[in-house]
Amino acid sequence: MDDGCFFDCSNTSPNLINCGAARVQTIRDCSRRRGDGLIDKLHGLDSIRCHKSCVSTYTSKHHLKRYITKKSNDSSPTETVVPPKRSRRLGTTIFNFKEHCVFCGEKALPLDPRHPDRWRKVYQCRTTGDYKQKILLSCDERNDDLANEVQVRLSGEVTDLHAADAQYHNDCYKRFMSHKNIEAAVRTKSSVFLQDDPALDALICEMEGKKSCVWNSIEIHEAYTNYGGSKLSRKNLISNLFSHFGHDLLKLSGAGVANIFVFRSEAPHLLKLTDASDEVDMTVIAKTIKEECCGKAANWDTYHTRLTQEDVTNACSDMILRLLAELSPKLDNTNTALLIEDNTNELIITAEHPIPISIINGQVRTQTNLHNTHEKADFIIVNQLVYLAARGASNISVVSDDTDVFVFLLYFYCKEKLTCEVFMQSPIACRRTVDIKATATKHSNIAEFLPGVHALSGCDTTSFLYGIGKATALKVLNSGKTLKLLGKQDVPMEDVVNEATLLMTTCYGSRCCKNTSETRHDSPYYQTLMWKSSLISEPPEDDDPVKYGCTKRNDKLFPVMLPENISPVPTEILQMIKCACSSMRACSTSRCSCASTQMSCSMFCGCHAEVDCNNVNTQSILSQEEEDELMTDDDLHNI
Residues 541-554: tens digit of each pLDDT: 656 666 666 777 77
pLDDT band at 540 (very low <50, low <70, confident <90, very high): low
Distances (CA, A) of 337 to 280, 321, 569: 21, 7, 73
As a whole number, the mean pLDDT across the chain is 74
Query: By three-state DSSP, how is residue 182 classified?
Result: helix
Residues forming beta bridges with residue 423, ordered by sequence position: 397, 435
Query: How high is the pLDDT of residue 352?
Result: 67
The percent helix, strand, coil of the chain (3-state, each to 5) is: 45, 10, 45
Give the containing element (helix H, strand E) for 347: strand 347-349
For the four alpha carbons of 605, 607, 608 and 614, in that order, the dihedral sign comes to negative
Query: How high is the pLDDT of residue 339?
Result: 52
pLDDT band at 451 (very low <50, low <70, confident <90, very high): confident
Of 302-306, 469-473, 543-547, 587-591, give the lowest mean pLDDT range: 302-306
Query: By three-state DSSP, how is residue 559 classified?
Result: strand
Percentage of the chain surpassing pLDDT 90? 0
Judge whether 385 and 422 are in contact, CB under 8 Å: yes
| Of the candidates 314, 302, 360, 305, the residue with the CA atom closest to the CA atom of residue 338 | 314
The CA distance from 526 to 462, in Å, is 10
The CA distance from 424 to 399, in Å, is 6
Query: How high is the pLDDT of residue 194?
Result: 36
pLDDT reading at 278 higher than 50: no
Residue type, 619: Q
Residue type, 283: T
| Of the candidates 106, 95, 159, the residue with the CA atom closest to the CA atom of residue 131 | 159
Q: Which residue has better confidence, 621 or 300?
A: 621
pLDDT reading at 522 higher than 80: no
Residues forming beta bridges with residue 100, ordered by sequence position: 107
The CA distance from 429 to 297, in Å, is 12
pLDDT reading at 569 higher than 80: no
Judge whether 120 and 169 are in contact, CB under 8 Å: yes
pLDDT band at 296 (very low <50, low <70, confident <90, very high): low
Q: pLDDT for 154-198, tens place per residue?
A: 877 767 787 778 889 988 888 888 888 888 777 665 443 434 678
Of 30-39, 371-380, 387-396, give the lowest mean pLDDT range: 371-380
| Of the candidates 520, 432, 531, the residue with the CA atom closest to the CA atom of residue 468 | 520
Query: How high is the pLDDT of residue 83?
Result: 53
Spell out a b/e string for 351-375, using b for 16 or more CB atoms within 10 Å of the CB, else e. eeeeebeeeeeeeeeebeebebebe
8-state DSSP, 431: P
Beta strands in 520-569 (DSSP E): 550-553, 556-559
The CA distance from 586 to 606, in Å, is 9
Q: What are phi and psi of 550, to 5 degrees?
A: -130, 155
pLDDT band at 621 (very low <50, low <70, confident <90, very high): low
Query: How high is the pLDDT of residue 188?
Result: 65
Q: Which residue has better confidence, 452 or 272?
A: 452
Reported as half-sphere exposure (CB side, CA atoms, 13 A), residue 132 has a value of 19
Query: How high is the pLDDT of residue 629?
Result: 44
Query: How high is the pLDDT of residue 12?
Result: 77
For the four alpha carbons of 153, 155, 158 and 163, in that order, the dihedral sign comes to positive
pLDDT band at 267 (very low <50, low <70, confident <90, very high): confident
Average pLDDT over residues 402-408: 84
The CA distance from 159 to 125, in Å, is 13
Q: Is 303 exposed, middle or buried (0-12, 13-18, 19+ CB in 10 A)?
A: exposed
- 222's CB contacts (< 8 A; 6+ apart) are none
Query: By three-state DSSP, how is residue 218 classified?
Result: helix
Q: Which residue has better confidence, 415 or 554?
A: 415
Average pLDDT over residues 408-427: 86
Q: What are phi and psi of 263, to 5 degrees?
A: -90, 140
Beta strands in 193-329 (DSSP E): 215-216, 249-252, 260-263
Of 68-77, 245-254, 596-605, give the lowest mean pLDDT range: 68-77
Average pLDDT over residues 524-546: 64
Q: Which residue has better confidence, 35 or 285?
A: 35
* pTM, two decimal places: 0.36
Q: Which residue has better confidence, 74 or 459?
A: 459
Judge whether 57 and 63 are in contact, CB under 8 Å: yes
Give the containing element (helix H, strand E) for 366: strand 363-366
Query: By three-state DSSP, how is residue 579 classified?
Result: coil
pLDDT reading at 597 higher than 80: no
Looking at mean pLDDT, say which of 66-75, 279-288, 515-524 comes out highest.
66-75
Query: How high is the pLDDT of residue 37?
Result: 81
Query: By three-state DSSP, how is residue 363 classified?
Result: strand
| Of the candidates 159, 190, 123, the residue with the CA atom closest to the CA atom of residue 431 | 123
Q: pLDDT for 467-502, tens place per residue?
A: 677 888 788 888 877 777 777 777 787 787 777 777
Looking at mean pLDDT, say which of 210-219, 341-350, 371-380, 533-542 comes out highest.
210-219
Average pLDDT over residues 363-370: 70
8-state DSSP, 330: G
Q: pLDDT for 429-446, tens place per residue?
A: 777 888 998 988 888 888
Give the containing element (helix H, strand E) for 348: strand 347-349
Query: How high is the pLDDT of residue 187?
Result: 67
Judge whether 563 and 551 are in contact, CB under 8 Å: no
Query: By three-state DSSP, how is residue 557 classified?
Result: strand
Distances (CA, A) of 250 to 246, 438, 468, 563: 9, 39, 59, 79
| Of the candidates 345, 244, 334, the residue with the CA atom closest to the CA atom of residue 289 | 345
Looking at mean pLDDT, say which of 188-202, 223-237, 285-299 comes out highest.
223-237
Average pLDDT over residues 316-340: 63
pLDDT band at 638 (very low <50, low <70, confident <90, very high): very low
Distances (CA, A) of 411 to 77, 442, 444, 472: 81, 12, 9, 19
The CA distance from 316 to 331, in Å, is 14
Using alpha carbons only, give the angle 34, 38, 41 rounded to the nearest 5 degrees. 160
8-state DSSP, 436: H
The CA distance from 222 to 495, in Å, is 83
Q: What are phi and psi of 551, to 5 degrees?
A: -130, 150
Query: How high is the pLDDT of residue 530?
Result: 65
Percentage of the chain surpassing pLDDT 70? 67
Rg of the chain's alpha carbons, rounded to an integer?
39
pLDDT reading at 299 higher than 80: no
Beta strands in 406-563 (DSSP E): 421-425, 434-435, 550-553, 556-559
The CA distance from 121 to 176, in Å, is 15
Strand order in the sheet with 421-425: 395-399, 421-425, 434-435
Locate CATH 1.10.10.10 in the chain: 198-270
Domain 198-270 has CATH 1.10.150.130: no
Reported as half-sphere exposure (CB side, CA atoms, 13 A), residue 494 has a value of 0
Judge whether 128 and 193 are in contact, CB under 8 Å: no
pLDDT band at 304 (very low <50, low <70, confident <90, very high): very low
Query: How high is the pLDDT of residue 208?
Result: 84
pLDDT reading at 520 higher than 60: no
The CA distance from 282 to 408, in Å, is 38
pLDDT reading at 558 higher than 50: yes
Query: How high is the pLDDT of residue 80?
Result: 47
Q: Which residue has better confidence, 458 or 283?
A: 458
